[in-house]
Structure 1
Amino acid sequence: MATPTPNNTLRQRNVKKNVGVSPIADAELDSYVKANTTAKAAGSEREYQLGFVVVTVLAFLTRFWGISHPNEVVFDEVHFGKFASYYLERTYFFDVHPPFGKLLFAFMGWLVGYDGHFHFENIGDSYIVNKVPYVAFRSMPALLGALTVSVVYLIMWESAYSLPACIVAAGLVLLDNAHIGQTRLILLDATLVFTMACSLLCYIKFYKLRHEPFSRKWWKWLILTGFALSCDISTKYVGTFAFVTIGCAVIIDLWDLLDIKRVGGALTLPEFGKHFAARAFGLIIMPFLFYLFWFQVHFAILSRSGPGDDFMTPEFQETLSDNVMLANSVTLNYYDTVTIRHKETKAYLHSHEDRYPLRYDDGRVSSQGQQVTGYPFNDTNNYWQIIPQDNNQQMGRAVKNSDILRLRHVLTDTILLSHDVASPYYPTNQEFTTVSQEDAYGERQADTLFEVRLMGGKPGQEVKTISGHFKLIHNPSKVAMWTHTKPLPEWGFKHQEINGNKQIAPSSNVWFFEDLPTLPEDDARRVREEKKVKTLPFLRKWFELQRSMFWHNSQLTSSHPYASFPYQWPFLLGGVSFWTNAETRQQIYFLGNPVGWWIASSLLAVYAGIVLADQFTLRRGMDALDHRSRSRLYNSTGFFFLAWATHYFPFYVMGRQLFLHHYLPAHLASTLVTGALVEFVFAAEPAENEITYQAAKAGKKPAVKRHITARERFAGTSMLGSWIAAAVILGLAAFGWWFFLPLTYGYPGLTVEQVLRRKWLGYDLHFAK
């Protein structure tokens, strides 16, 4: 084995010291290196500006061209268009996504004078007939989608990459059918991807000012980074991944600042503390405050009762005007006959004379007791009478929070009971049944007692219909009455199973008393009093909404014909059907540009291979890369690769439904890696520039300019190679974009033969026969 020379050893030490994940490499020399190497080889500042203008104009053309087609509701426009209408009507709605992206749509509707009368009920509903300014709505994501291409170009430019590298990265986003498709419709992903890209750009500009700490520009770009991150997570919760990207870079940056041997002088611990506090303020505290601000706007606008009321507690609903349910609530007394309904599934607590079978399908034995089920329709078998624990309470006494009581099934004159027998579907949960009055007040007396536990209720608070959400807790065993949507077999008439859930905390255990069906209309309790709209502290409303959003987000686990897995996305193995028109044979099929995606995914693997090969050669005492190339490979390109990884790999641990559009932020990061590798492979710096670079790093001016050397002539040749590589990559991407354009824009209609030619990987296209 060859022993490395002292010089090689020293060089390797320097390499290790500069390996990390930073947006740019050695930013203190950025202006010098850019002026003396990159700009000389790749073009002047004016050429960069010209490239920026051309890319931006083309981005607007591709996003806005034919944006009025189709003139009817497409795919998830039924959701996000509807939410914009609710904002404009000020009626409360519920959604699993934060409000920022939806507020932008509402703002656009407000600008054009739209009143929100159309609720986007069905895919295919006509915008023209219903007089909806849908082009204005679609213009918002189209604008952000076009600007995303510009931001990608600026990221590469600010990172001091060559002009071909900038054009390749921006061009792959410009010519991508998935990015175009998502930005021409009333969807949230254009906002998400744009703010994610802005967060990368702002952090790069902040990082370049790290040798001017606490200056006005330094603070400006730090705060703007935090604002972009806030807008990202305020659009969708997957915006958290951008925080991870920036957070990793910040941690490495702080670790370098802590180094007592750092270039530029060591920081004292108080100075380091200021740096840490500034970043914590700009990238954690400020984004959180911005995040809260959008929810404050959300609550301020949605002041009227609406379709989202059912997702919130009665206390929250009382803050909304015109709340019909709360206006109809009635105080509940003992011996009242009531109907009881499950908050989540809307099923009624129901019973009938039929009994559980002796054995279930899995061989377990039941009690053969009377069936207690969940039934979706109102029926006299849903009537239950509230009986006090001692059965001697005076009639007319109100039922209160934490009272112990019994429930009598009116039609069969039996008492609700739960006991230590496994339920039909859940061996760990208790069966619910009913028993005769004789047993209920005899040997089974304890098993018929239940506690009414109001949600957020105060001690002694009266229970009311509609507004009194509660959990019914079996007193001896401490299980909560629960139901779910899986239907029982034929012996249970396809009703829902009712059982005792040992986990009391989940919100799926919540029920409410819906009505008093036998209460006379002239009863004093039915007298309606004008109720004033109440107020709740903002943070209490925010916490309640957050809990509900997170819970419902976690429940998005059902199957979907167009759902996909993360391992399919980089290879573009499938897409999503957005819209079809059988008469014209037109369709919108959400699909990326296969050629562009395969190139970007391949170069991600190439990057990983280059890094592994470099580490292997260094281990063997060989140093094939100059200082600046390696620094850019590990720092700048590494930062882009980190952005891809943090926006891609977390999806593998998610249990919710996933679709191709979830990969768009990661795809954008992969185009940045592609552009960076074009420069690395085809425009490597000549040795002379390494000498100039090291001289500048040592604080020396370069030697008197010499005549063009052979190596410098090689640099010009390599730039020609990078231009050729850029032309080949974008040429192939342009072909893919053009070939799949009819599926992205929804026109023109395709013949059977034309559709079949586009089923490259068996894409599930319509009109293929």
Structure 2
Amino acid sequence: MASTAVPQGSLRQRNTGSKKSPAAAPLEQEVSKVKSVQQKTKTSETEYRIGLVLITLFGFLTRFWGISHPNEVVFDEVHFGKFASYYLERTYFFDVHPPFGKLLFAFMGWLVGYDGHFHFENIGDSYIVNKVPYVAFRALPAILGALTVSVVYLIMWESGYTLPACIIAAGLVLLDNAHIGQTRLILLDATLVFCMACSLLFYIKFYKLRHEPFSRKWWKWLILTGFALSADISVKYVGTFAFITIGSAVIIDLWELLDVKRPGGALSLSQFSKHFGARAFGLIIMPFLFYLFWFQVHFAVLTRSGPGDDFMTPEFQETLSDNVMLANSLDIQYYDTLTIRHKETKAYLHSHPDRYPLRYDDGRVSSQGQQVTGYPYNDTNNYWQILPMDGDEALGRVVKNHDLVRLRHVVTDTVLLSHDVASPSYPTNQEFTTVAVADAIGKRAQDTLFEVRIEHGKKSQAFKSIASHFKLIHNPSKVAMWTHTKPLPEWAFKQQEINGNKQIAPSSNVWLVEDIPSVPQSDPRRQKPERQVKTLPFLRKWFELQRAMFYHNSKLTSSHPYASHPYQWPFLLRGVSFWTKNDTRQQIYFLGNPVGWWLASSLLAVFVGIIGADQISLRRGIDALDRRTRSRLYNSTGFFFLAWATHYFPFYLMGRQLFLHHYLPAHLASCLVAGSLIEFVFTAEPAEEGPSGGKTQSAGPKRYLSARERLAGQSTMGVWVACGVVLAVAVAGWYFFLPLTYGYPGLSVEQVLRRKWLGYDLHFAK
């Protein structure tokens, strides 16, 4: 008897002349359905490509429209335009952000032949008068901003979402006024957001190849993910959040590889080690090497002395040509008269005959000694003579690192002293004062001894003016001489307080000798041959710059009139004024599209609610969702929600100034959640009922179909209607706030007041 079984993968009967068996007919019907759906999918691929082209064109249109206005410096263009000019002049500067984004601006300037002559000193300076190719600079973020819209579309496409869902997610970014505003100016955030979006897209493409591990494509997308992550953190350090996003997904993926119940069985420890090592190389080691590379380019380009010198150690400064230390630093000898300046606040060590009051405002009693203060201007009261500890040193002997010295105030002929008396403003810190010379070498001799401790200095290293950054440590009590910007009361002429800081390590204790007035210009010590530029190993320079960047980044804690808090961002409670023009009543006010932001934020809450409801239902034995639907909701939408959370919640831990633009990467992720969740609402399938009435997972031909193929066989009318509604309200919001984003036309008082939806602090409201 002829067999009626169909071989695996075959669509034909073995006995073509025999009558079709009853078992074969349903299978052929299923295969026919699969082919039909796949044909629809092939047609839909063309629609997706058309959608991508259109969304990209609209992205370029919205970003480049009127990009030449205003033709003057706007907001933080004073910083990033200036840095591009410094690169082109090869002049060393300091910034708290890594170099990659600024190097891209410099590259654009180099392409159009700009020489960096304009330094973007003030908001409102004319680009036309100063002949600056500012449109070329602004074109870089505009291009990246337009491509970011395309990348968002591709993320949704690669994740298997329907065309309307792709359009919703990309459209919310396309029509967002905040994204547009940041991408039309010489700012770093367009590059940051683009790199963050690329890291999500590349990781999704890498993850889709999880069943082809170590293939060429698998390696390609792994390496590209690492490169995007590296570029992200090389623009701004908040790019670290993208590492947290991808790192969390990788950890979950590796955990799944250890599961013995996974299809294909559990991996051996050897296989798992290969997977772990590949990801560690592609997502940690290689990105770090790329990160170092941009700093190598940074150091290679910036070879001339510039405004960033003061942030670096003398050893670093001596690697720069034209550095003042190469020309002006002198060995400091005993009995020289010095002017000593605080590195951070630029105040001179100063004293005058006036004394501390008997009592301070809080009732504490002072020593009533002579005041020692910080003074911002050069003055003879800033002159201090450096004396040896024992007084027997010969003239001409050079002061060395760790020497014990005394400092005599030249004008009042008194000696610097610190003792166990509380300072005026800091009860925990020691008072600095001066005493008569007789007391300084008599009963108060120990209290007038100070150690010269050169920063990163070697034993017996010569103490030099300008070149030696040092801490002055009071020898008996081991406190460091320190000052701060809070002024003393009127009794000290509102000068800075000098006191003894018990915490010696902070760099705020660092001083330098600015000059040696006792050495005349004609003295042979000032007549020196030209010195050669020194070199330092790359890693030493990199570590030093990293320390300075992290330190000064942590100091950005002062208040700002347009700073905002993270809890305000999802609800768009306030923006930032970028630019105003009084005579035309024009202004650029950095603000998102309120409709789009509120929709995306609402759907984030809806997603959390759906996940919570589903988990509660499962605990109660109710399986309300199809297996594929739940997998999409948890894995894909969940990944987008993870990207939002990791780019949002860490800001609550920061103490530095924060602004609305810090939310842009998280907002992009919220748009992805919005697109995927709207599709879920209109296409989610309930679990099917089994023979006994219980819920079971979908069966039949759907096991042959991909997610997009399955949806291609369904009606997506509901998603299209939602897409139309979302785009309509997003366009309305974009157009309404367009004058604030593009800076024109000017608005009347009534028009401005109509746009103060949440009390936005707009200009020209009266």
- TM-score, with length taken from structure 1: 0.92
CA distance in 2, matches of 1:528, 1:712: 80
In the alignment, what sits opposite 1:746?
Answer: 743
| Residue deviations 1:452-508 (CA, integer Å, cap 9, x gap) | 011111111111101111010111111111111111111111111111111111111
- Structure 1: unaligned runs, 5 residues or longer: 1-31, 703-710
Q: 2:14: which partner in 1?
A: none
Kept in 1, the 8 Å contact 2:40–2:712? The answer is: no
SS of 1:384's partner is: strand
Q: 1:732 to 1:41 in 2, by over 3 A?
A: farther
Which digits, 9 at most, give the CA deviation of each residue in 1:205-258, with x for residues without a partner? 000001100000000000000000000000000000000000000000000111
Partners of 2:40 and 2:713 within 8 A in 1: no
List per-residue Cα deviations over 1:712-753 (Å, max 9, x = no partner).
99942xx11111111111111111000000000000011111
Asked if the contact 2:233–2:240 (Cα under 8 Å) also holds between the matched residues in 1, the reply is: yes
After superposition, the C-alpha distances for 1:349-370 in whole angstroms (9 at most, x for unaligned) are 0001111112222222211111
Q: Does residue 760 of structure 1 match 2:757?
A: yes
Q: Is the contact made by 1:360 and 1:366 (CA closer than 8 Å) also made in structure 2?
A: yes
Q: Displacement of 1:522 after TM fit?
A: 2.0
Instruction: Note the 1:291-330 alignment, pairs <5 A.
Output: 291-330=291-330
The one-letter code sitting in structure 2 at the alignment partner of 1:242 is: A
Contact 2:99 2:298 in 1 (8 A): yes
Q: Is the 8 A contact 2:625 2:684 kept in 1?
A: no
Q: What is residue 86 of structure 1 aligned with on the other side?
A: 86
Cα gap change, 1:302/1:563 in structure 2, threshold over 3 Å: closer, same or farther?
A: same
Whole-Å separation in 1 of the counterparts to 2:160 and 2:368: 77
Deviation at 1:420, TM superposition (A): 1.0
Of stretches 82-91 and 725-734 in structure 1, the one that deviates more from structure 2 is: 725-734
In structure 2, distance between residues paired with 1:508 and 1:749 = 47
Amino acid at match of 1:400: K
- 1:2-401 aligned at under 5 Å gives the runs 40=40, 44-401=44-401
Distance in 2 between residues matched to 1:720 and 1:691, nearest whole Å:
27
C-alpha separation in 1, matches of 2:685 and 2:142? 39
Indicate the residue corresponding to 1:433 in structure 2: 433
| Greater Cα shift, 255-264 or 169-178 | 255-264
For 1:342, give the aligned amino acid: H
Q: Provide the C-alpha distance between the structure 1 equivalents of 2:653 and 2:36, rounded to a whole number of angstroms.
A: 47
Cα distance between partner residues in 2 of 1:559 and 1:615: 43
Tell me the residue number matched to 1:706: none
SS at match of 1:294: helix
Contact 1:429–1:500, Cα closer than 8 Å, also in 2? yes
Change (3 A) 1:296 1:745: same
The aligned residue for residue 488 of structure 2 is 488
Counterpart Cα distance in 1 of 2:354 and 2:38? 83
Aligned mates of 1:412, 1:755 — CA distance in 2: 62
Percent identity between the two aligned chains: 80
Contact 1:242–1:646 (CA<8 Å) still a contact in 2? yes
Write out per-residue CA displacement over residues 604-643 of structure 1, whole angstroms, 9 at most, x where no aligned residue. 0000000111111111111111101111111100000000
Judged with a 3 Å threshold, the aligned counterparts in structure 2 of structure 1 residues 692 and 617 are, in CA distance, closer, same or farther, namely closer
Could you tell me how far 1:693 is from its partner in structure 2?
A: 6.4
Equivalent positions of 1:679-758 (< 5 A) are 679-685=679-685, 715-716=714-715, 719-758=716-755
Shift of residue 441, structure 1, vs aligned partner: 1.6
Secondary structure of the equivalent of 1:126?
A: coil
Residue aligned with 1:326, SS: helix
* Residues 510-525 of structure 1 aligned to structure 2 (within 5 Å): 510-525=510-525
Q: Contact between 1:686 and 1:715, CA under 8 Å: does it hold in 2?
A: no
Q: Which residue of 1 aligns with 2:11?
A: none
With over 3 angstroms needed to count, the CA separation of the structure-2 counterparts of 1:454 and 1:178, relative to structure 1, is: same
Report the Cα distance in structure 2 between the residues aligned to 1:544 and 1:194, rounded to whole angstroms. Answer: 29
Summarize deviations over 1:143-166 as a string: whole Å, max 9, x none: 000000000000000000111110
Q: CA deviation at 1:438?
A: 1.9
Partner-residue secondary structure (3-state), 1:494? coil
* Residues 388 and 35 of structure 1: CA distance in aligned 2, closer, same or farther (over 3 Å): farther
Question: Relative to structure 1, is the Cα distance of residues 693 and 100 closer, same or farther in structure 2, using a 3 angstrom cutoff?
Answer: farther
C-alpha separation between the residues in 1 aligned to 2:711 and 2:251?
A: 38
Give the structure with higher Rg (CA): 2
CA spacing shift, 1:34–1:203, aligned 2, 3 Å: farther
Q: Measure the CA separation in 1 of the matches of 2:712 and 2:107.
A: 55
Is the contact between residue 487 and residue 495 of structure 2 (CA under 8 Å) also seen in structure 1?
Answer: yes
Task: State the SS of the aligned residue for 1:514.
Answer: strand
Shift of 1:686: 6.7
Q: Which runs of 4+ in 1 moved over 2 A?
A: 32-43, 685-697, 711-715
Letter in 2 for 1:682: F
Offset at residue 177 of structure 1 (A): 0.1
The one-letter amino acid paired with 2:531 is K
Q: 1:383-434: CA deviations, max 9, x gaps?
A: 0000100011111100001100000001111110111111111111111111
Amino acid at match of 1:353: P
Determine the C-alpha separation between the residues in 2 that align with 1:569 and 1:461. 53
Deviation of 1:374 after TM superposition, in Å, equals 0.5
521 and 35 in structure 1: CA distance in 2 versus 1, 3 angstrom threshold: farther
Q: Which residue of 2 aligns with 1:505?
A: 505
Kindly tell me: are residues 46 and 351 of structure 1, through their superposed partners in 2, closer, same or farther at Cα, counting changes over 3 Å?
Answer: same
What is the number of equivalent residue pairs in this alignment? 726
Query: Is the Cα–Cα contact under 8 Å of residues 626 and 697 in structure 2 kept in the other structure?
Result: no
Q: Which runs of 5+ in 2 are unaligned?
A: 1-31, 690-694
- The whole-number CA distance in structure 2 between the counterparts of 1:547 and 1:695 is 61
After superposition, the C-alpha distances for 1:585-610 in whole angstroms (9 at most, x for unaligned) are: 11000000001000000000000000
Pair 1:93–1:33, CA change in 2 (3 A): farther
Cα distance, 1:439 vs. partner? Answer: 1.7
- Inter-partner Cα distance in structure 2 for 1:366 and 1:608: 61
Secondary structure of 1:305 counterpart: coil
Q: Pick closer, same or farther for the CA change 1:40–1:419 going to 2, 3 Å.
A: farther
Q: Say whether the 8 Å CA contact 1:685–1:715 is kept in structure 2.
A: no
Amino acid at match of 2:70: P
**In 2, Cα distance between the equivalents of 1:119 and 1:96?**
18
Distance 1:559 1:701 in 2: 59
| TM-superposition CA deviations, 1:92-145 (whole Å, max 9, x none) | 000000000000000000000000000000000000000000000000000000
When residues 653 and 42 of structure 1 are mapped into structure 2, their CA distance, relative to the original with a 3 A threshold, is: farther
Distance 1:549 1:306 in 2: 17
- Read off the aligned partner of 2:168 and give its amino acid letter: V
CA distance in 2, matches of 1:214, 1:494: 68
Change (3 A) 1:484 1:81: same
Q: Name the amino acid aligned to 1:466.
A: I
Q: Shift in Å at residue 43 of structure 1?
A: 6.6
Work out the CA distance in 2 between the residues paired with 1:235 and 1:296: 15
* One-letter code aligned to 2:309: D
Pairing of 1:538-549 with structure 2 (within 5 A): 538-549=538-549
Contact 1:335 1:387 in 2 (8 A): yes
Q: Which residue does 1:585 correspond to in 2?
A: 585
Question: Is the 8 Å Cα contact of residues 41 and 712 (structure 2) preserved in structure 1?
Answer: no
Question: Distance in 2 between the 1:539 and 1:713 partners?
Answer: 55
Give distance in 1, aligned partners of 2:187 and 2:79.
Answer: 9
